[in-house]
Structure 1
Amino acid sequence: MEVDHIYICTDYKAPAGELLKEFGLTEGTSNTHPGQGTANRRFFFHNFMLELLWIENLDEVKSVLTKPMRLFERCSKFDPNISPFGIGLRPIKEKNIKITFPVWDYHPLYLPDFLKIQVADSTPLSEPMFFYLSFVERQDKYPLEKKENMKHKLPLKEVTNIEVHINQKNEFSEAAKIINNMDNLLLIKDNENYLKLTFDKGAYKKEKDFRPDLPLVINW
């Protein structure tokens, strides 16, 4: 497994996305999620996608279908004890590795019936949502007609290291322990929730901290 994308719960319409554009990132297409009650702004890189997620429809996000995803809690309360992140994982096609943590199957209305999102089970809200997408691949592997714009004003191509700082003192869940053994991803117990992305092994030795507007630090 490897990280496909990470979402950050934000305010309505994700005004913090403008800060990312001012920084030099090119915004990709946005999505709404019918039946799930959320929408997003997205920024694409060769091996990663950063998603700013918000609640678009309160009734849908609190529906019987979506309630187990706990998106209402993550994206509406902005409680420092609740992680605002979701970490989407994908298979590495060269390695036939299957998920080894307990999951439950989520069948959102916006996906075909034969596809599912496998969500880690029995994880606390203090940890990110962990979910597995068996049907996705790297952004730069998609055919031309499906590729998003991955060219940015800054020389950012690939995410080579991810730190997810988690406001939690208790022992990690079973899923978090397993995921924490993945290459290039580190879950760190801390006093606050924030995400640190390192691009291209930090070749330029530069850093941009978007806090407090967005719990994000970018190294490149």
Structure 2
Amino acid sequence: MTFEFDHLFICTDIGAAIADRLVEFGLVEGGSRTHTGQGTTNRCFFFHNAMLELLWVHDPAEAQSDLIRPTRLWERWQGRNPSAAGPSELRSALIAGVDRCCPFGICVRPVDRSSDANPAGSEASAFSSWAYKPPYLPESVSIAIATNSDRLTEPMLFQIPLGQRPDRAPAEKVQPLEHRTGWQEITRVEVVSPVVTKPSPELQTLLDAQLVRLRVGTEYCIELGFDGESQDQHLDFRPELPLKLCW
């Protein structure tokens, strides 16, 4: 089975006010969601083949509950920006042995799925994983989270059940896909990391499949390329958001 990029999340400040800058630039915001029981909320931008998600914790108690704690979402969110956080806010990240956590999550999905051969929750995983069953999903459905989830210097890797291209969504789930920028597809996902270590086997799997690129830099950043980047232009949203858009 082959896999493709589904979406990226970036941990942001509460409310993700930076999303307004994306709208001003020419992107059309899609629907948002509160992940009941997980303690997170998002603001999203959809393209023909994938999605950009800005994610924050709205309920610390839920995010630190026994069920959610293994995802390390709380640590990633708290450790996203040490310069803006106090010592108590970084305690969990420091216990994990890092002074800044990678604030990204990368989700993949199968390219082709037969609903008869692979019912929800039973499909093969792109990497070594464990089953995560958040309260907002039906009991029979789980998210495959890569077993490198404790390595907070790497992106959280996961695979969602029943993932599909936004431009193939059923009528009741259609999201705005036409942006003033004219962009249609995300064609490059590159993680810039200040950590120089050998990638985990789970991350290496995505690198080998050319679903994600990785390079060393001075700080965490995600570069998203659109439609082959034929215009050779870019817009950098740092320091407010570790995101660079290239087209």
Query: How far apart are the structure 2 equivalents of 1:88 and 1:15?
Result: 23
Structure-1 residue corresponding to 2:52: 50
Query: Bigger shift: 138-147 or 28-37?
Result: 138-147
Query: How far apart are the structure 1 equivalents of 2:211 and 2:229?
Result: 13
Q: Deviation at 1:142?
A: 1.0
Going by fraction, where is strand more abundant, 1 or 2?
A: 1
Instruction: Structure 1 unaligned segments of length 5 or more: list them.
Output: none
Task: Say whether 1:133 aligns with 2:152.
Answer: no
Structure-1 residue corresponding to 2:195: 168
| Structure 1 segments of 4+ aligned residues over 6 angstroms from their partners | 94-97
Structure-2 residue corresponding to 1:91: 110
Q: For each residue in 1:136-165, what CA deviation from the matched residue of structure 2 results, as whole angstroms up to 9, or x when unmatched?
A: 111111122211001111111001111111
User: In percent, how many aligned pairs have the same letter?
Assistant: 40
Q: Structure 1 counterpart of 2:234, which letter?
A: E
Q: SS in structure 2 opposite 1:43?
A: strand
TM-score, length-normalised on structure 1? 0.95
Matches within 5 A, 1:7-18: 7-18=9-20
Q: Structure 2 counterpart of 1:26, which letter?
A: V
Q: Structure 2 counterpart of 1:69, which letter?
A: T
The structure that has the greater radius of gyration is 2
CA RMSD of aligned residues (A): 1.8
Q: For each residue in 1:29-50, what CA deviation from the matched residue of structure 2 results, as whole angstroms up to 9, or x when unmatched?
A: 1000111000000000000100
TM-score, length-normalised on structure 2? 0.85
Task: Say whether 1:36 aligns with 2:41.
Answer: no
Match of 2:132 among 82, 86, 106: 106
Query: Bigger shift: 51-60 or 176-185?
Result: 176-185
Instruction: Structure 2 unaligned segments of length 5 or more: list them.
Output: 83-98
Structure-2 residue corresponding to 1:74: 76
Distance 1:175 1:58, change over 3 A: same
Q: Deviation at 1:94?
A: 7.0
Query: How far apart are the structure 1 equivalents of 2:12 and 2:209?
Result: 27
Q: Structure 2 counterpart of 1:76, which letter?
A: Q
